Amino acid sequence: MAALTTTSYAILSLMAVKPWTTYELKQQMDRSLRALWPRAGSVLYEEPKKLVAHGLAGSRVEYTGRRKSTIYEITDEGRAALRGWLDEPGAGPVLEFEALVQVAFADHGNIEQLRAVLAHIRAYAEFARAAIEERMTEYETTGGPYPDRLPVIALSARFMREQNASLLRWVDWAEAEVAHWSGTTPATGARVPPDGFSG
């Protein structure tokens, strides 16, 4: 039987909130966890079945007209497993940031490519800021779909807001530095920023 993963426990955590169909689980993962734990939809559709196989969730079939849906719900064993997982120290953050890898190796390209990558990072960060602020406003004005969970939601939401603010500060700084460069190597006009390593 396949071992449980962080994705398994993330889905089990959502099942602890309420029963879901796999479609609803995917929607909720996109809404609440995409920025913290992005996973492909195909993986999310298999995880509830794995939890059932482990006895941590149960399933039942419901019909809406002729449309069949499988509803997944956490079991008592699942709640115990979730509490056990919460006792364990979670792994720290792992950054997966392709555009930053492109910045790190920009000396193999030209200055226009580097500026384009930074512009792309800025566009992403501004989009993310708007999405985060929209979600924060929703929480502050309506309480969101689970107002009884707001204290813990606020902790992770604040982290996401701070992380994005940091990305925006960094791209402001990087674009200002690169604006003075004529190339991406010392020979073509790049220079080490005065505060590049000391901050």
Domain 6-87 has CATH 2.40.280.10: no
pLDDT tens digits for range 166-197:
999 999 999 999 999 999 999 999 999 888 78
Token representation of residue 50 = 């794995």
pTM of the predicted structure, to 2 decimals: 0.82
Residues 6+ apart with CB under 8 A from 158: none
Residues 6+ apart with CB under 8 A from 78: 12, 15, 16, 51, 55, 56, 57
pLDDT tens digits for range 60-77:
999 989 999 999 999 999
For residues 9 and 57, what is the distance between their CA atoms, to the nearest angstrom?
Answer: 11
For the chain, the structural domain boundaries read 6-87, 98-188
- Residue 104's Cβ-count burial label (10 Å; 0-12, 13-18, 19+) is exposed
